[in-house]
Homo-oligomer: A and B are copies of this chain.
Amino acid sequence: MTLPFIIQSRDKLARQGELHTAHGVIRTPAFMPVGTAATVKAMTPEAVKSTGADIILGNTYHLMLRPSAERIAKLGGLHKFMHWNGPILTDSGGFQVMSLSKLRKLTEQGVTFQSHLDGTTYELSPERAMEIQHLLGSDITMALDECTPFPATEEQARESMHLSMRWALRSKNAFKPRDGHGLFGIVQGSVYPALREESATALMNIGFDGYAVGGLAVGEGQELMFSVLDFTVPFLPKDHPRYLMGVGKPDDIIGAVQRGIDMFDCVIPTRAGRFARAYTEAGERNIRNAKYAEDPRPLQENCPCPACKNYSRAYLHHLFKCEEMLGPMLLTWHNLAFYQVLMQNIRNAISEGDLDHFAESFLAIYRDTTDED
């Protein structure tokens, strides 16, 4: 197996284990901070590592535009370029082509688009997506798919999914297997159980090192997302990692782990940190809120991050009022640390067979916002 996955404990549908890659072990369930343009925004790699992150995600779309996969390869690959020596998962670029680029033209062959930065025309195909991720040196490569828009009729979802399955096969054929490097397929099919089953079966017939659930976290809401997971996860192989792309908030992650998901990525903790929003056990806090101006308490008691260990809420509030860069730096650090502590607690709870209780305790306190305290 090119990407050994060892499940160490199970708690109902949830699993706790290790995924072994060329650049080290990923403890699962895992949250992957997003390092879009070869940097996790506002963080050094050492700081990212210190939060407990085992793996980060890089975005093929952004990197193919700037500075280009060829240039990164010439400079020694993405790990060396950005000084992150742990595992890296790269997406295929398909999602951002659809959400960011201009003048897209989608054909059987692939997609032609103009860069949102300077209008330059690029082509992305399953073969090119594999080539780019190979040039970057990704530990985990994602197959190129079309992220089916939401909502979609069953007919639209079927057609889109079928294209993604043909691209999945071409991705597999173009991928160069190496020890410690793996290729993940992506299940599509929108909210339709029959399509999700057909997609999962098609991917398993091709054979991948891991299986992602795509087409979610696109505005469908938590209830519908959980419902799709409820019927989709049972179609996936039991011995391979499962990755829910683009998810999510802490309560999304807990619910998805309870439904059998092993891996997550999301821009929420980093983006929120830049906009003064902190995740805490009590819920989201907007540190710009005037009530924090003289609050001498740490953002969260017992949090191991420097924002909480070294500073008051009043200081963090001050930094954002003054638009000082240290504000986003510290709040990003905190949010990533909060997410990694959450993942560690989830892993512990699974290994102790106690996940439902942990989830219940967490969600009893956690609020969307606590600023109305």
Q: Are A326 and B66 in contact (CB under 8 A)?
A: no
| In the complex, A43 has a CB within 8 A of chain B | yes
Q: Are A75 and B326 in contact (CB under 8 A)?
A: no
Most chain B C-beta atoms within 10 Å of own C-beta, residue among A67, A71, A74, A328: A67
Q: A75-B296, A326-B42 are in contact. Are A67 and B321 (CB under 8 A)?
A: yes
* Nearest B residue to A81, CB-CB: B315
* Nearest B residue to A71, CB-CB: B294
* Nearest B residue to A324, CB-CB: B39
Q: Are B314 and A71 in contact (CB under 8 A)?
A: yes
* Nearest B residue to A295, CB-CB: B75
* Nearest B residue to A312, CB-CB: B75
| In the complex, A367 has a CB within 8 A of chain B | no
| In the complex, A166 has a CB within 8 A of chain B | no
Once bound together, how far apart are the Cα atoms of A146 and B164, in whole Å? 71
| In the complex, A172 has a CB within 8 A of chain B | no
Once bound together, how far apart are the Cα atoms of A6 and B156, in whole Å? 80
Query: Interface digits, A64-105 against B, CB 8 Å rule (1 contact, 0 not)?
Result: 001100010011100001110000000000000000000000
Residues of B within 8 A of A74 (CB): 294
Residues of B within 8 A of A322 (CB): 37, 39, 62, 66
Most chain B C-beta atoms within 10 Å of own C-beta, residue among A42, A44, A293, A296: A44
Oligomeric state, in copies: 2
Partner of A315 from B38, B46, B293, B311 at Cβ < 8 Å: B38
| In the complex, A163 has a CB within 8 A of chain B | no
| In the complex, A302 has a CB within 8 A of chain B | no
| In the complex, A13 has a CB within 8 A of chain B | no
Residues of B within 8 A of A294 (CB): 71, 74-75
| In the complex, A325 has a CB within 8 A of chain B | yes
* Nearest B residue to A317, CB-CB: B67
| In the complex, A240 has a CB within 8 A of chain B | no
| In the complex, A7 has a CB within 8 A of chain B | no
| In the complex, A170 has a CB within 8 A of chain B | no
| In the complex, A329 has a CB within 8 A of chain B | yes
Q: Are A314 and B75 in contact (CB under 8 A)?
A: yes
| In the complex, A15 has a CB within 8 A of chain B | no
Once bound together, how far apart are the Cα atoms of A315 and B326, in whole Å? 22
The smallest C-beta distance from A96 to any residue of chain B, in angstroms, reads 14
Query: Interface digits, A115-148 against B, CB 8 Å rule (1 contact, 0 not)?
Result: 0000000000000000000000000000000000
Once bound together, how far apart are the Cα atoms of A81 and B295, in whole Å? 11
The smallest C-beta distance from A135 to any residue of chain B, in angstroms, reads 15
In residues 275-293 of chain A, which contact B (Cβ within 8 Å)?
293
Q: Are B67 and A37 in contact (CB under 8 A)?
A: no
Once bound together, how far apart are the Cα atoms of A38 and B240, in whole Å? 50
Q: Are B83 and A318 in contact (CB under 8 A)?
A: no
* A/B interface sample: 12 pairs, CB < 8 A: A37-B318, A37-B322, A39-B319, A44-B329, A46-B306, A71-B294, A71-B314, A74-B294, A75-B314, A75-B315, A81-B314, A82-B315
Extra contacts, 17 of them, besides A38-B318, A41-B325, A67-B318 (Cβ < 8 A), are A37-B322, A38-B315, A39-B319, A39-B324, A39-B326, A42-B326, A45-B310, A66-B322, A67-B293, A75-B314, A76-B296, A81-B314, A82-B315, A83-B310, A325-B325, A325-B329, A329-B329
